[in-house]
Chain A
Amino acid sequence: MSLVHDLFYGFGIAMQPWNLLACFLGVFIGTLVGVLPGIGPVGAMSLLLPITFGISPVTGIIMLAGIYYGSMYGGSTTSILVNIPGEAASVVTCLDGHQMALKGRAGPALGIAAFGSFIAGTLGLIGLMFLANILARVAVIFGPAEYFALMWLGLSLVTYLTQGSVLKGLTMAGLGLFLSLIGQDVITGKVRFAFGLMGLVDGVGLVPLVMGMFGVSEVLLNLENLYEKREVMKTRLRELLPNREDWKRSAAPIGRGTLIGFFLGILPGGGSVISSFVSYATEKKLSKHPEEFGKGAIEGVAGPESANNAASSSGFIPLFSLGIPANVIMALLLGALMIHGLRPGPLLITENPEVFWGTVASMYMGNVMLLVLNLPLIGLWVQILKVPYRTLFPLILLFCFIGAYSISANTFDLYIMLVFGILGYAFRKMGYEPAPLVLAFILGPMLEQNLRQALILSEGSMAVFVTRPLTAAPLLVSLILLLSTILPSLRRKRKEVITEED
């Protein structure tokens, strides 16, 4: 029962007025920066970092952590409303979330995202409390070969992200893979495919690419019917929250998404990014009506959004128990703790219980605050869709610009965004979808580095990929997945053309 005792101790700390205020401020700022596309939690957190030098470490961490998971709640808002994913994790949310919005169901989409996030975030915390020390060991079992196999499995999910032609999806994935390789090669340190452009030395930025492919190209497509009345928006706007049917369809995806997100989120090498993709593919595979996916299936929002938030809870496991940050945000939290002389690691929970338990307890409260904060906002967000598009689209473009600029304060990234906006427009006109490109772009660098590291370690032997269960299993699954989707699609080509492409 020491766990209950520890948790009460944690709540005792989190309930102190200052910490309560810090928690609220954190989730409030997090919601704000999460909603604004491109402006991620990283910028806000590094800005507030010097302020935390002066306050107690627990209060500082509570606030910074609040910004982080707060931004995860808000991250899906622009994906659903205007098809701009603010971060990698909400790319998948665009697929069905924005389609739901186009059908006048933005409210339920936002609602299920908020509830799913709340449920998954809270369950993730319970997992974090019970399993932190056990699962920390799991995180290091994954070496380069295992990561490669996992990334390869992730990449083979590409076919689940496409609605139309599988072949077109595969070409987009190939192109995305190549684009991800531009810039400095981690293994040799050499710059490649940069064509002499300084801005490409560190590669194509994810945010400008995603905002171009989704946000800008969406605006360009919509320019075509700029002065037409958008009737779809007018219908059923009063329906703000998910109804019973929505809940019935979403319950299982939220559960599965939580599990997927929680376990993948533990892996420090980008597990949390692929969790939303894995969840989407799982739901599409298990669904009785996979043809609805990509056209506004609520499962396609509920699953990935839950996965994304569960991963943000379990991402604290390697940080608190090993001192290994799973992403830039965790690295920032690590830095904030270190400046105060605290060292996250195996001894943190015993040596500084106030930090661990205080933070965990504050996260429970923060999740409740977020739900209370976000539900009333849904009504406000839905109102945005009532604004005529000719007034809305310049603002969408401006937010894309500010978001892309704020990442590196460099106009080069704006050019990148524009180029991908135009490319994305052309591709979508010709029936190519941007999601497979983005997935391959995200996984590409990890796939490459881990494969090459594995080969250096094995001295060129391919045996590592088939002899170990943790590498062989994902590779086998991905082989089955690929064959089961490509073979029938080649045979059934004629039928598909008629049924799937209008």
Chain B
Amino acid sequence: MKGRIDTGGFGWVILGSLICFLAWRVRLGTFSEPGPGFIAFGAGSFLCVVGIIMLLSGLVSPASTEERVPWDRLFPRGVRLRLAYTVLLLFLYTMFLDKLGYVIGTFLLMWGLFLNWERPRWVTSMVASLVTVGVTYLVFEVWLHCQLPRGILPLG
């Protein structure tokens, strides 16, 4: 592990430089009239400095603060699938929420999320998601008037 380059530190230096560049593009201004990029430039430079310190400390000290965890241990295969599935469902829900409306969209999302992969019980999870939609609709839309999206059903 000795003398290993700290990729984390490297990433922060790049991100910091990028922020500095963006800040420079929107104008830094002067001390008597600081521009919109004034503080952002500071934040970017700060990230660069911390990144460099990370890099250096990774080079100098034998045990880097960055623990090297192999990719497979970080994301075991089963976990990766379940993770991808959940995130995908969440993105699909967000994409179609306005079109489908709260009631239908949420029903589908909840059905998908409640589904137990090891022992799929389609009906149980469907009923559970129906109940969830009904109760949350009552609390948030009817009582609290949360302005949930109406979608294709004339509810909401």
* In the complex, A touching B (Cβ < 8 A): yes
Mark A residues whose CB is within 8 Å of B.
33, 36, 39, 43-44, 47, 165, 167-168, 170-171, 174-175, 177-178, 181, 185, 187-188, 190, 192-193, 216, 219-220, 223-224, 226-227, 390-391, 393-395, 397-398, 401-402, 405-406, 409, 411, 414-415, 418, 421-422, 429-431, 444, 447-448, 451-452, 455-456, 459-460, 462, 490, 493-494, 497-498, 501
Judge whether B93 and A401 touch: CB under 8 Å: yes
Which of chain B's residues has its CB closest to A418's CB? B90
Q: Which residues of A contact B97 (CB under 8 A)?
A: 405, 411, 414
Does B101 count as interface, using CB distance less than 8 angstroms? no
Q: Given A181-B40, A430-B8, A447-B39, A193 and B57 touching (CB < 8 A)?
A: no
Judge whether B50 and A402 touch: CB under 8 Å: no
Q: Given A39-B140, A181-B43, A193-B40, A220 and B83 touching (CB < 8 A)?
A: yes
Report Cα–Cα, A405/B37, bound state, in Å. Answer: 30
Give 22 A-B contacts (CB < 8 Å), ordered by A residue.
Answer: A167-B54, A171-B47, A171-B51, A174-B47, A175-B15, A188-B35, A188-B36, A192-B37, A193-B26, A220-B86, A226-B82, A391-B114, A405-B146, A406-B146, A406-B148, A414-B94, A415-B94, A448-B39, A451-B34, A452-B34, A452-B38, A456-B33
Q: Which residues of A contact B35 (CB under 8 A)?
A: 188
- How many CB-defined contacts (below 8 Å) exist between A and B? 165
Does B110 count as interface, using CB distance less than 8 angstroms? yes
Judge whether B54 and A391 touch: CB under 8 Å: no
Judge whether B32 and A170 touch: CB under 8 Å: no
Chain A interface helix/strand/loop/mixed: helix
How many Å from the CB of A155 to the closest CB on chain B? 11
Q: Given A398-B106, A431-B67, A460-B30, A175 and B47 touching (CB < 8 A)?
A: yes
A-facing residues in B65-89 (Cβ within 8 Å): 65-67, 74, 76, 79, 82-83, 86-87
Chain B interface helix/strand/loop/mixed: helix
How many Å from the CB of A434 to the closest CB on chain B? 16
Report Cα–Cα, A494/B148, bound state, in Å. Answer: 52
Report Cα–Cα, A397/B63, bound state, in Å. Answer: 38
With beta carbons under 8 angstroms apart, the residue of A43, A398, A501 that contacts B110 is A398
Q: How many residues of B contact A (CB 8 A)?
A: 66
Judge whether B16 and A402 touch: CB under 8 Å: no
How many Å from the CB of A442 to the closest CB on chain B? 15
Not counting A174-B46, A421-B90, a sample of 18 additional A-B residue pairs whose C-beta atoms are within 8 angstroms of each other reads A33-B144, A44-B144, A168-B8, A170-B46, A174-B16, A174-B47, A177-B39, A394-B109, A394-B113, A395-B132, A401-B93, A402-B140, A405-B97, A405-B146, A411-B94, A418-B91, A444-B39, A494-B63
Q: Given A167-B54, A448-B39, A390 and B33 touching (CB < 8 A)?
A: no
Q: Which residues of A contact B16 (CB under 8 A)?
A: 174
Q: Which residues of B contact A395 (CB under 8 A)?
A: 132
Judge whether B79 and A224 touch: CB under 8 Å: yes
Judge whether B110 and A394 touch: CB under 8 Å: yes
With beta carbons under 8 angstroms apart, the residue of A397, A430, A448, A493 that contacts B90 is A397
Judge whether B63 and A43 touch: CB under 8 Å: no
Report Cα–Cα, A33/B118, bound state, in Å. Answer: 36
